[in-house]
Amino acid sequence: TPSRSSVIIVGAGISGIAAAKILVENGVEDIVILEATDRIGGRMRKEAFGGVTVELGANWIMGVGGKVPNPVWELAAKSSLRTCLSDYSNVRYNIYGRSGKMFPSELAADSYTKAVDSALEKLRNQQGTDGGRRDFSRATEPPSSPKTPLEQAIDFVLHDIEMREVLPIPTFLDYGEQEYLVADERGYEELVHKLARDFLSIASEGEILDSRLQLNKVVRKIQHSRSGVTITTEDGSVYDANYAILSVSIGVLQSDLISFQPSMPRWKMEAIGKVGVTVYTKIYLKFPYKFWPCGPEKEFFIYAHERRGYYAFWQHMENAHPGSNILVVTLTNEESNRVENQPDEETLKEAMEILRDMFGPNIPNATDILVSRWWNDRFQRCSYSNYPITSNHQVVQSIKAPVGHIFFTGEHTSEKFSGYVHGGYLAGIDTSKALLEEMWKEKEGKAVRLTQV
Give me the residues that bind ligand FAD (CB under 6 A), please: 10-16, 34-37, 42-44, 57-60, 62, 218-219, 247-249, 252, 257-258, 280, 282, 372, 374, 379-380, 383-384, 410-411, 419-421, 423-424
Spatial separation of the C-alpha atoms in residues 170 and 70, rounded to whole Å: 12
Which is closer to ligand FAD, CB of 219 or CB of 399? 219
For residue 68, the tally of other CB atoms under 10 A from its CB is: 10
Count the Cβ atoms, other than its own, within 10 Å of residue 205.
Answer: 6
At residue 12, what are phi and psi to the nearest 5 degrees? Answer: -115, 45
> Which residue, 331 or 358, has its beta carbon nearer to ligand FAD?
331
Partnered with residue 240 across adjacent β-strands are: 4, 230
Which residue number, 155 or 340, has a Cβ lying nearer to ligand FAD?
340
What DSSP element (H or E) covers 443?
helix 421-444
CB of residue 100 to ligand FAD, shortest distance in Å: 29
Contact (CB, 8 A) for 373 and 284: no
**Minimum CB distance to ligand FAD smaller for 114 or for 338:** 338
Whole-angstrom distance, CA of residue 19 vs CA of residue 86: 30
Task: Tell me the three state secondary structure of residue 444.
Answer: helix
User: For residues 13 and 247, is the Cβ–Cβ distance under 8 A?
Assistant: yes
Q: Are 405 and 242 in contact (CB under 8 A)?
A: yes
Least distance in Å: CB of 374 to ligand FAD? 5
State which residue, 108 or 403, has the beta carbon closest to ligand FAD. 403
Q: How far is the CB of 125 from ligand FAD (least distance, A)?
A: 29
Q: Is the peptide bond before 69 cis (omega within 30 degrees of 0)?
A: no
CA-to-CA dists, residue 283 to 261, 312, 318, 331, 347, angstroms: 40, 12, 16, 8, 9
Identify which of residues 228 and 410 has a Cβ nearer to ligand FAD in the complex. Answer: 410
Minimum distance from residue 283 beta carbon to ligand FAD (Å)? 11
CB of 436 to ligand FAD, least distance (A): 19
* Nearest to ligand FAD of 140, 392 (CB atom): 392
Q: Which is nearer to ligand FAD, 118 or 332 (CB)?
A: 332
Exposed, middle or buried: residue 353 (CB in 10 Å: 0-12, 13-18, 19+)? exposed
Least Cβ distance, residue 111 to ligand FAD (angstroms): 26
* Nearest distance in Å: CB 15, ligand FAD: 3
**Least distance from C-beta 160 to ligand FAD, angstroms?**
12
Decide whether 140 or 415 has the Cβ nearer to ligand FAD.
Answer: 415
User: Min. distance of Cβ 191 from ligand FAD in angstroms?
Assistant: 10
The residues pairing with 222 across neighbouring beta strands, listed in sequence order, are 231, 260
Q: Is 290 exposed, middle or buried (0-12, 13-18, 19+ CB in 10 A)?
A: middle
